[in-house]
Amino acid sequence: MAGWATAQTPVAFTVKGKIGNLNAPAKIYLFRNGQIDSATLKNGAFELKGSTDIPVQASLLLRPNGKLGTGMYGQGDRKNLYLEAGQVLVTSPVSLEAAKVTGGPITADYQRLEAMLQPTDAKVKAQAAVYEKVSEEERNTPAFKARSEAQWASINKEYAERKRDFIRSNPNSWVSLYELMQLNMLAPPEYTVVGPLYEALSPALKNSPPGRMYGDLVKGLKAVAIGAQAPAFTQTTPDGKSVSLADYRGKYVLIDFWASWCGPCRQETPALTKVYNEFKGQKFDVLGVSLDNEKTREKWVQAIQDDKMAWSQVSDLRGWQNEAARLYGVQGIPQNFLVDPDGKIVASGLHGDELATTLARFIRK
């Protein structure tokens, strides 16, 4: 760890392996930090060399026809790994996905994490199998959709819990830092959850470039933690009227971050409408903040009409650079914050039944 933290020059790595007995035109591609390297297989063997300033996550993709196609984001035979000093060996008699990976200490850490995640991976496969078995008609029924959403939410929650357990137990591992940075893909980051995990990491990890970047995020999350004063902001409605958070002082207000292009956001609108209608006469309101941009302005306005959103909607039309979203450390949407009559944040990330029960607890207490 100390060697990585103090290194001033890149460290060489090698990714070497053998996948079956494939030959040209078969190629294997290595994706890392926006860079793509490749090697043609000869009797299944390949070798990729390079250098890295710090350990990085990478992905291998095998293309039997040699064509990159949709790259790392499409379907394909792939394997995730870490690039670290020395050699990483990838071997399999059949597919890249089934390959055994060996290497240095960071590779060993990642394998331990993968072992911890295997029970949850099995649930993903089981869920996918159920989906494949049912008819298209049944997949589109409200009951099936609701059941599937609940099951996927439970699976994501389990993934997050297992990864947090790994991070707590391995504060010196680069794998912990990268997994911490990616937890926001499973759930919006909250300071009370990720703050302690970050603070427990080794100084070397926190002082690395990605560690410092995540540290800035943690500082931002602390500013909108439960009990903090909600950051002030003013943005405009579709018809050009300025609306400030301060306008809602004296009542509870739910700041709802969303966008017209966000499917999950729009799926939550009916539940939010129901809650709004139930509590709006009890010193409660909603303020929608859209992460749309100038190009999607018309879609934003149309979405408000189509979804019959009766509460005020504002945006600065700067997309993910929306100033309010930046102030509140929004990393994913839908996301929301409940602010009390004194302007303090009392809850966040409220969805489904939790939103109604939380409002009832505060407003009717």
Same domain, 91 and 170: no
Classify strands 56-63 and 27-32 as parallel, antiparallel or unpaired.
antiparallel
Same domain, 172 and 259: no
Q: Is residue 152 one of the residues assigned to a domain?
A: yes
Same domain, 118 and 93: no
Cβ–Cβ under 8 Å, residues 50 and 83: yes
What is the C-alpha separation between 231 and 344, in angstroms, rounded?
9
Q: What is the CATH number of the domain that holds 10?
A: 2.60.40.4150
Cβ–Cβ under 8 Å, residues 292 and 319: yes
Same domain, 353 and 270: yes
23-38 b/e (C-beta count within 10 Å ≥ 16 → b) = eeebbbbbbbeeeeee
Same domain, 155 and 213: yes
Question: Which of residues 103, 119, 147 is at a domain's end?
Answer: 103
Check residue 170 and report its DSSP letter: -
Q: Is residue 229 one of the residues assigned to a domain?
A: no
What is the C-alpha separation between 286 and 280, in angstroms, rounded?
8
What is the C-alpha separation between 363 and 365, in angstroms, rounded?
6
The DSSP element (H or E) to which 132 belongs, if any, is helix 105-133
Q: Is residue 85 one of the residues assigned to a domain?
A: yes
Among candidate residues 284, 247, 264, the one with its CA nearest the CA of residue 358 = 284
Question: Which of residues 223, 244, 265 is at a domain's end?
Answer: 223
The DSSP element (H or E) to which 361 belongs, if any, is helix 353-363
Same domain, 94 and 120: no
What is the residue-level pLDDT of the chain in tens, covering all 365 positions? 434 444 457 889 999 999 999 999 999 999 998 899 999 999 999 999 999 999 999 999 999 999 998 776 777 899 999 999 999 999 999 999 999 999 999 999 999 999 999 999 999 999 999 999 999 999 999 999 889 989 998 999 999 999 999 999 999 999 999 999 999 888 878 888 999 999 999 999 999 999 999 998 898 889 899 999 999 999 999 999 999 999 999 999 999 999 999 999 999 999 999 999 999 888 999 999 999 999 999 999 999 999 999 999 999 999 999 999 999 988 889 999 999 999 999 999 898 788 889 989 988 65
In this prediction the pTM is 0.75
Same domain, 116 and 99: no
The reported pLDDT for the residue numbered 365 is: 53
C-alpha torsion sign, points 175, 7, 85, 210: positive
Same domain, 8 and 82: yes
Question: Which of residues 52, 80, 103 is at a domain's end?
Answer: 103
Q: For the residues of 51-119, what is the DSSP string, one character each?
A: EESS-EEEEEEEETT---TTGGGSSSEEEEEEE-SEEEEEEESS-STT-EEE-SHHHHHHHHHHHHHHH
Give 242: exposed, middle or buried? Use CB within 10 Å, 0-12, 13-18, 19+: exposed
The DSSP element (H or E) to which 243 belongs, if any, is strand 242-244
Among candidate residues 282, 278, 268, 279, the one with its CA nearest the CA of residue 336 = 268
Q: Is residue 290 one of the residues assigned to a domain?
A: yes
Residue with tokens 């670290």: 84
Same domain, 334 and 253: yes
Within a 13 Å sphere around the CA of 334, how many CA atoms are in the beta-carbon half? 21
Residue with tokens 């971050």: 257
Residue range of the domain that includes 351: 234-363
Specify the number of domains making up the chain. 3
Same domain, 207 and 157: yes
